[in-house]
Structure 1
Amino acid sequence: MPLSVELLSESTLRDAIGLLARAVEGAGALIIFVGAVWASGQFVMAGARGRGAGFNRIRLSLGRFLVLGLEFQLAGDVLRTAVAPGFAEIGQLAAIAAIRTALNYFLGREIAQERAELDQKGIEAAARPSTQRHAVS
């Protein structure tokens, strides 16, 4: 007769992991919310200063918040399937992971592209003689 020791029942483990998943998803939602509030504040301040040039930098920063928040959301989904997942849960995770991975990929690609454009503009601005820089700014 094999001796087995059960530290936590499956239902207790499910409840604990469910709580952890909600905490991780909540952190992801909070990150996205903070990023949106920050970007909104930066956008309003840039508009009040009359500088529309900061728009791309604001978008770039907001994109970083979105990517990080989506990673936390995906981590929460992975946690949910940690204890004896059925085929339905695995299918849902696969669909959610595919959608979020695609979002992350395209957001990351757009962030990299915008960063390269901003860096190129910075290089071009630095290469101009100082009299032209003051006229353009």
Structure 2
Amino acid sequence: MEQWLAVSAGYVGFALEAMAVLIIAVGSVKTFIAGLGTMLFKPSLHDAIREVWLDYARYLIGGLTFQLAADIVSTTIAPTWDDIGRLAAIAVTRTFLSYFLERDLGDIRERRQVASEAED
């Protein structure tokens, strides 16, 4: 039974890592195309470029979330201190990225609301 659990955890961990890579790859390609278009056609719009980066940050956070899940699954069977340290580093990185992304999104929402009220 324990061996079956270890094998299952390995497959689930691998699938979650593959999902993380896919999310980050899709986000990177999308951001490259959107960023290039924004820089070429809207070079003076700081907010447009910032939105491209914020969108990319969402993909990175999504990828990190799946990576964290993969590491949690992988460390369920006899974790080493190295595994636990890697898990902690990913968790801290994801927490900081989430905090700053939410702060930036709040700033953008506030700016949009002020701009919307100014138009009315």
Alpha-carbon shift at residue 17 of structure 1 (Å): 1.0
Question: Aligned equivalents of 1:88 and 1:39: distance in 2?
Answer: 33
Structure with greater helix share of residues: 2
Structure 2 residue corresponding to 1:45, chosen from 37, 54, 62 = 37
Counterparts of 1:1-137 in structure 2, within 5 Å, are: 8=1, 10-53=2-45, 54-86=48-80, 89-117=83-111, 119-120=112-113, 122-123=115-116, 126-127=119-120
TM-score by length of 2: 0.75
Look at both structures and tell me which one has the larger radius of gyration over its CA atoms. Answer: 1
Q: Once superposed, which parts of structure 1, at least 4 consecutive aligned residues long, lie more than 3 Å away?
A: 84-92
Give unpaired runs (5+ residues) of structure 2.
none
Alpha-carbon shift at residue 51 of structure 1 (Å): 4.9
Q: Which residue identity does 1:126 align to in structure 2?
A: E
Query: C-alpha deviations, 1:16-38, integer Å up to 9, x for none?
Result: 21221121122112112211211
Question: Aligned equivalents of 2:95 and 2:49: distance in 1?
Answer: 26
Percent of residue pairs identical: 36
Q: Does the 8 Å contact 1:78/1:93 carry over to 2?
A: yes
Please give the root-mean-square deviation of Cα atoms over the aligned residues, in Å. Answer: 2.5
Query: C-alpha deviations, 1:60-99, integer Å up to 9, x for none?
Result: 2112112211111111111112234355544442343223
Question: Aligned equivalents of 1:11 and 1:46: distance in 2?
Answer: 52
May I ask how many residue pairs the two structures share in their alignment? Answer: 118
Question: Aligned equivalents of 2:39 and 2:81: distance in 1?
Answer: 51
Question: Aligned equivalents of 2:115 and 2:27: distance in 1?
Answer: 25
- Which structure would you say has the larger RCO, counting Cα contacts within 8 Å and 6 or more residues apart? 2
Give unpaired runs (5+ residues) of structure 1.
1-7, 128-137
TM-score by length of 1: 0.68
Alpha-carbon shift at residue 125 of structure 1 (Å): 5.8
